[in-house]
Amino acid sequence: MKDYAAARKKMVRRQIIARGISDPRVLKAMEEIPRHQFVDEALQREAYQDNPLPIGDGQTISQPYMVALMTELLELRGEERVLEIGTGSGYQAAVLSKLCARVYTVERFPRLSETAKRVLKSCGIENVKYRVGDGTKGWPSEAPFDAIIVTAGAPKVPDALVDQLVEGGRLVIPVGDRFSQTLKRVIKTRTRTRAENSTGCRFVDLIGVHGWSE
What does the alpha-carbon distance between residue 144 and residue 45 come to, in Å, rounded to a whole number?
39
Q: Please tell me which residue in 62, 89, 97, 113 is annotated as part of the active site.
A: 62
Distance CA 203, CA 62 (A): 8
Per-residue confidence band for 214, with pLDDT thresholds at 50, 70 and 90: confident
* Total count of residues recorded for the chain: 214
Enter the pTM of the model: 0.96
What is the average pLDDT value for the chain, to the nearest integer?
97
For 197-209, write each residue's pLDDT tens digit.
999 999 999 999 9
pLDDT at residue number 98: 98
Q: How confident is the model at residue 190 (pLDDT cuts 50, 70, 90)?
A: confident
Say if CB 193 and CB 162 are below 8 A apart. yes
Q: In what order do the strands lie in the sheet with 128-132?
A: 128-132, 102-107, 81-85, 145-150, 165-176, 181-188, 193-201
Strands 145-150 and 81-85: parallel
- Residue 164: DSSP 8-state: T
Residue 140's SS3 state is helix
3-state secondary structure of 209: coil
Domains of the chain: 52-201 (3.40.50.150)
Q: What is the pLDDT of residues 3-38, one digit of tens each?
A: 999 999 999 999 999 999 999 999 999 999 999 999
pLDDT of the residue at 2: 66
Question: Is the CB of residue 50 less than 8 Å from the CB of residue 39?
Answer: no
Measuring CA to CA, how many Å separate 119 from each of 5, 37, 74, 94, 163? 18, 7, 24, 9, 31
**Residue 110 pLDDT > 60:** yes
pLDDT per position as a tens digit, 143-158: 999 999 999 999 999 9
**Separation of alpha carbons 149 and 175, rounded Å:** 12
Give the pLDDT of residue 191: 87
Question: Could you say which DSSP state residue 13 is in?
Answer: I
Reply yes or no on whether 89 is catalytic.
no
Tens digit of each residue's pLDDT (9 = 90 or more) over 95-106: 999 999 999 999
